[in-house]
Structures are given as C-alpha cells and as structure tokens.
Amino acid sequence: MKVHLPNSAFLGNIDSFFNSLDMSDTNTLQISANKKWISVHPLVLAMVAALGQTVRPENIACEVFEAKSKHYFERMGLFRFLGVRSGIDVVEHESAGRFVPLTQIQSQEALSKFVTDMIPLLHLSPAHAEPIRYIVTELVRNVIEHAESPHGAFVAAQYYEKSNSIRIGIADVGVGIKKTIGRSHRVSGDLSAIGLALTPGITGTTAREGGTEQNAGAGLFFIKSIASINGDFFAIYSGSALYKLLRQHATKRHILHADPFRDRHSARENLPQWTGTAVGIDMMLDETEKFSALLEHIRGTYARAVRERRKERYKKPRFV
C-alpha cells in the first residue's frame, strides 16, 4: 500500500487524497509526503495510523519528512503509531495548543475515558462540548460494536483558530459499512450501504423497524443532522464509496431529510477500497446551534421518517 500526504487535504478537497491511495500489496505500507508543506485534516492522520496497524512494523517505509510543518505529525503521534523514528524533536506545545493527538480506542472503558479527557484538551465551552462529545462517542461506539476490527478506532481532532472550527477524524480498518448493513438489508454496493446507514431507523443488526433493544439505527443520522443544521462538512468513506455532506446554505440548514441523497451532498464510487470506515466532520464553532434546539429539528424528521416507512408497508385495499 502507498499513501502520499499532500500539501492540503481537508474535507472540501479530500477526494483527491482518497483517490491517490494505493491499496495494492497489503503486506507493505509506504508513506511519502509533500516536501514543502503538509496541512491535512485529522481524518488523514487517523486513516494512516489505522492502516499502519495492518502491516508488520518492519514492512512500513516512511520517508523522512522535510516539510516545515513536519513537527505537527510528531506532535499528533503519527510516527509513534507507525513504529517509525521520525528524527523530529518537538518542544512541548504551548498551552494555547488545542488538539487531541491520535488515540487508539478499543473498548467502551477506553471510550468513556477518552471522551472525559478530550474536552479539556480542546478548551471548549460546555455549549460547544456537547455536540462534539456526542458525535465522537457515537462514532467510536459504532466502531467498537460493529467494525470487528482488532485495532479498534483511531481518533484525532484539531482546533483551527482562523476558521474557529474543530475538525475531527475517526477511522477503522474493520469490515466496512456494506458488510454490517448487508447483514439485515439488501445493498447493491458501498454507496447504497452508506445511504442506508445514514437513514434513520436502519441498523445492520435487524431488519425490524425500530431496531433491536440495543441498536436503533439512529446514530449516523443524528450526526449527519447535527452537521447539516450547523452547516458543517461531514464525510464518510467506506469500501469504494464516499458520501460527503456539503456545507448547507444558511437558509436551508433546518430542512433535514431522512434520505441522505436529498441533502446537499457529493458522492463517489470506485475509489480505492478502504476496508473499514473513515469519518470526518468539521464543526464551525461560531455557527453551532444550541444543542437542544438542534435535537428538536431531528425529532420531527425522525418520527416522520419512521411513520412514512411504516405507512409504506400498510396493505392497500383491493378494489374489485
């Protein structure tokens, strides 16, 4: 496998990074990087760290980073997870640094601890912390419960002062969405599986409406809705497909759709095969709506979606 860390890869332009992944020869991992400047979304770090777990350390070849921004990758813990000596010295970051370094989470106990520790690292107010801990918890729990990855979830987050935003990346190298959703629903491909996973009330654990006693099939719909209302980017890449919720226009943010393909989005198929799931989300802190108000919007859409799907199964009268 080959990964090249480009000059820039954020959710707006991340498609080209995904497209550049070379997933052949899964026994080796070669990592190269832009020589001048590398500025990438935490999702990229989470993906590379997760990939690194699938290869023996001696089969990982990471070129010496020359870019001026190379210290960032040391500080975020990327080389540590790859078992690579970077030769980069970092001075302990100043107190204004607001980031969550790469973290591997393999159990519910580790997740609970991570969520508790994460918020102080990002220096968030309670109002901003609420949706972020919600999103991270639900996404990581999905990995622990459904991904079947022995390596768990890789998570990283970064605060960006210029845009006053938090960017979060979560990746696993598990079985992917198509396999988990396909256990209970008919799926035609990776993109249709992602679409179903984002639809309220659909879970891979049962075909039954309302889910099981332990799974409702609501988690990803909630997260997509939080991003939609706040006008944030949200991207999900699994198998060979990418679904990306684009930033919603301010006037349309409160229109939530149960069908993710009715939201303002882009979708791609035939990307290099990511054997697992990678999710990125950006949260613009200036535009974050009060969490309880946001939940009120979700409530209306969710109940309507379940009602409409139930109606679809009603028997129709026969007029003879």
Nearest Cα neighbor of 52 from 83, 10, 73, 98 is 83
User: What letter represents residue 192's amino acid?
Assistant: S
- Alpha-carbon distance of 301 to 259, in angstroms, equals 10
Range 207-246, binding another protein (CB under 8 A): 209-211, 213-216, 218-219, 222
Q: Phi and psi for 18 in degrees, rounded to 5?
A: -60, -45
Does the footprint of another protein cover residue 181 (CB under 8 A)?
no
Instruction: Note whether 312 binds another protein by CB under 8 A.
Output: no
Stretch that binds another protein, among 10-18, 168-176, 204-212, 252-260 (CB under 8 A): 204-212
Is there binding between residue 295 and another protein (CB under 8 A)?
yes
Beta-bridged to residue 238, according to DSSP, are 241, 277
Residues in contact with another protein, counted by CB under 8 A, come to a total of 36
Binder to another protein among 42, 195, 200, 239 (CB under 8 A)? 200
CB of 122 to another protein, least distance (A): 15
Q: Report if residue 306 touches another protein, rule: CB under 8 A.
A: yes
Q: In whole angstroms, give the CA distance from residue 154 to residue 194.
A: 20
Q: Applying CB under 8 A, does 63 fall inside the site for another protein?
A: no
Encoded one letter per residue, x for contact with another protein by CB under 8 A and - for no contact, window 87-126 reads ---------------------x--xx--xx---------x
Residue selected from 15, 74, 130, 287 as contacting another protein according to rule CB under 8 A:
130
For another protein, the closer of residues 63 and 308 by Cβ is 308
Stretch 135-154 residues interacting with another protein (CB under 8 A): 137-138, 141, 145
Q: What CA–CA distance (Å, rounded) separates 128 from 103?
A: 21
Chain centre to alpha carbon of residue 131: 14
CB < 8 Å & 24+ apart, contacts of 254-258: 254/229, 254/297, 256/225, 256/228, 256/229, 256/297, 256/298, 256/300, 256/301, 257/301, 258/199, 258/200, 258/221, 258/301, 258/302, 258/304, 258/305, 258/308
To another protein, the closest distance from the beta carbon of 226 in angstroms equals 11
Closer CB to another protein, 95 or 214, in the complex = 214
Binders of another protein among 250-279, rule CB under 8 A? none
Q: Is residue 185 within a helix (H) or strand (E), and if so which, with residue range?
A: none
204 binds another protein (CB under 8 A): no
Distant-in-sequence, close-in-space partners of 62: CB < 8 Å, separation ≥ 6: 30, 31, 79, 82, 84, 86
> Near another protein by CB under 8 A, which window of 25-33, 163-171, 250-258, 293-301?
293-301
Angle between helices 219-230 and 126-142 (to 10 degrees): 140
Residue 25 phi/psi, 5° resolution? 45, 75
Nearer of residues 13 and 116 to another protein, judged by Cβ = 116
> Which range touches another protein (CB under 8 A), out of 19-27, 42-50, 94-102, 133-141?
133-141
Kindly state the smallest distance separating residue 133's Cβ from another protein, in Å: 6
Q: How far is the C-alpha of 290 from the C-alpha of 256, rounded, in Å?
A: 16
Chain centroid to CA 120: 21
Is 206 an interacting residue with respect to another protein (CB under 8 A)?
Answer: no
**Given the rule CB under 8 A, which residues bind another protein?**
108, 111-112, 115-116, 126, 130, 133-134, 137-138, 141, 145, 200-201, 209-211, 213-216, 218-219, 222, 291-292, 295-296, 298-299, 302-303, 306-307, 310
